[in-house]
Structure 1
């Protein structure tokens, strides 16, 4: 049986995706180690270990670093910076980190900028630490740097408890990033989310020093995901055309009066076509929302199935689902 395409991030409870950074389906391929450039040697895995074993070891090392950091009371900027430097080096292979001028805390080989603030600051709100010459959030500070730099295309911003992977993005009103809740990963032993994160942000994913910023697995994965999305959109156009023909023919066969009015011009053909097109896209919207589990919580789905089994009408099902959802 063909594997169902991944369309959301539910497989990784501690990760969240905003915008079109890397498609969930591509992240799933990366997580399954089915994407290009994912051989053990591509990740510089130590001899005698598999990628799975390397990730397992990295998880325990990272958890030890995080637990020590979490015990600090109100960690300072410097304490957070020291934690991030050690955590990145021993967990994700960043052995080339060097201090950098503000707003950066450090940078790897001049191509992977890292912005660090203490846990008391959130990534999307004004940062007292970084707002020296002007008001800005940690995420905006990194985005601004990436947009202005030709040498850096991807970067990371963190407050020690949350980590966000970002890319050069011309739009400041439509953010795009992958965020990891480190506290949740290590407190709940969420190895699935950690594994996906490790595969995504290991130092090797950002490319080697002295190569163009675009020459890295992350960028090639992003482009591959975009191409797959374009192919899906092309297929969707053909499927919409088929749906219009099938639904339109069915409506006309079931409604001879409508067919006669269209033929005589009493009903405008363009207006009727637009209504038909609107119906098709509403159906697509509902099907996508349902596929991503956005229509109703799990409880309402369970109750709906039970009611359906008992012979309730569709109207009764809709009412019951609405009550459960609200």
Structure 2
């Protein structure tokens, strides 16, 4: 099973609150603090045994809750039912015990330019070291099944629950992480005061339990367990006791007692985030190398194929033609990545597409099929895989192709004319599969084992960053040896010549039209 978050259809990361790299490693218990004792389990119980026990309990609670929901009248927010019959039992199985109910919500001290504290109607919280002495806490905002997390609900929620909780996290210094849920979805949030876009990890609870996705539930348990949010004892920052030496003769001075501060920055989830960001930086570098390797595979395949004599003649006759070849190779890589993202997000086919058409596409024409083939075989000298890929890109560049359920997406990226000197060239299966393999897999920076790239959750910074490293490469074609190579250049030619295709169009397409 792939350790990529893509393998978990019910789990989604948005923004940078918790990098997908962290979740990918957590699946294999490779993140900090994943021993049984770190999860505060009963002595003798393993993590996997705890997950299995929670699974059985949660399945029953979810079934009872959904049955009760069906009996409510339309429009009922189902707040009490969702909290008491579903979310609180769920959290109990994840080590949260009984979070404190906040009938009056929480207030944050007045900020700059404000005259009164700001009120936040948060429903629950878990505090450390205790409810009576709350130094740090995790706010949990549990709303009813009939309440949207992303919009206000007249008469029930004056603000969208998620934006309200996010605002609270951004303004309250004594908390860092929070949880919001309406029973259907559960999201983990973090202080994101420096960000302008939403950022969270989302678990589709209905999908996990209705479709018996045990692997997804296991990752949910590993990530949302209360032990992930609990602060660790920090370094001493204050002292109690007077150290008085003025007492009766012969008496020892008052003992100095060190008091350790609690900070949620010390929790395991924050350590996961830090580790995930570091891993992500190394993975991004690995992905840059993967794109370079893909271009090398494609270039070598095109120039060596016996049927591409005209291409070789052009390259031999014009010294600058290798740059045209490089631009065309970049375009092919961009197109593959666009399709990776669109397919993994389930966005390539419009709603209502014929199941027969989408199945035909998936089984015989998709990049998902290419990625599967690339992990199991090296390929042959035949060109049928490239020919099939061109059928897809030609359809996307024109009016679509009904038999495959494809709609037109415009000529700017997928048209044959965008391939320049490669428009009519042939590519062996082994070269295409080698390129796909380089794009679809990276070497895990922590384990050294190849794993799938999580294109489903790739964001604009990662997409743009993939190509920055490629600007240091210069294409070279040797007409005598009929070889194509990428060599490290002394400077960044893109800054002065504009000879490299900018990824702006790709990013706009993937994260705009396709996201």
Q: Does 1:212 align with 2:263?
A: yes
Q: Deviations over 1:230-274 (max 9, x none)?
A: 1233455567778889969x8999524432xx6xxxx9xxxx96x
> Is 1:139–2:162 an aligned residue pair?
yes
The reply on whether 1:116 has 2:142 as its aligned counterpart is: yes
User: Could you tell me whether the CA contact under 8 Å between 1:16 and 1:179 is conserved in 2?
Assistant: yes
Structure 2 CA distance for partners of 1:298 and 1:178, relative to 1, 3 Å: farther
Give the counterpart of 1:299 among 357, 360, 372: 360
3-state SS of paired residue (1:255): helix
Unaligned runs of 5+ in 1: none
Deviations 1:37-60 (A, max 9, x none): 100000011123211111111112
Q: Please tell me the root mean square deviation across aligned C-alpha atoms, in Å.
A: 3.6
Which of the numbers 12, 22, 44 marks the counterpart of 1:16?
12
Residues 280 and 320 of structure 1: CA distance in aligned 2, closer, same or farther (over 3 Å): closer
Counterpart residue number, 1:229: 280
Distance 1:5 1:78 in 2: 37
The match for 1:285 among 334, 338, 358 is 334
Does residue 258 of the first structure (1) align with residue 324 of the second (2)? no
User: Residues 49-60 of structure 1 correspond to what in structure 2 (within 5 A)?
Assistant: 49-60=45-56
Is 1:31 matched up with 2:82? no
**Structure 1 equivalent of residue 173 of structure 2:** 150
Question: Partner residue of 1:167?
Answer: 190
Assess, with a 3 A threshold, how the Cα gap between structure 1 residues 189 and 233 changes in structure 2: closer, same or farther. Answer: closer
Task: Name 1:43's counterpart in structure 2.
Answer: 39
Kindly indicate whether the alpha-carbon contact (under 8 Å) linking 1:58 and 1:90 is maintained by their aligned counterparts in 2. no
Q: Which residue of 1 aligns with 2:152?
A: 126
* Structure-2 separation of matches of 1:49 and 1:238: 42
TM-score (normalised: structure 2): 0.52
TM-score by length of 1: 0.78
Query: How far has the Cα of 1:130 moved from its partner?
Result: 2.7
Contact 1:244 1:276 survives alignment (8 Å)? no
- Larger RCO, structure (CA 8 Å, separation 6 or more): 1
Larger Rg: 2
Alpha-carbon distance between aligned partners in 2 of 1:39 and 1:232, rounded to the nearest angstrom: 25
Whether the aligned pair in 1 keeps the contact of 2:291 and 2:333 (CA below 8 Å) is no
Q: Tell me what 1:98 maps to.
A: 100
- Closer, same or farther: CA 173–47 of 1 in aligned 2, 3 Å: same
- Post-superposition shift, 1:170? 3.0
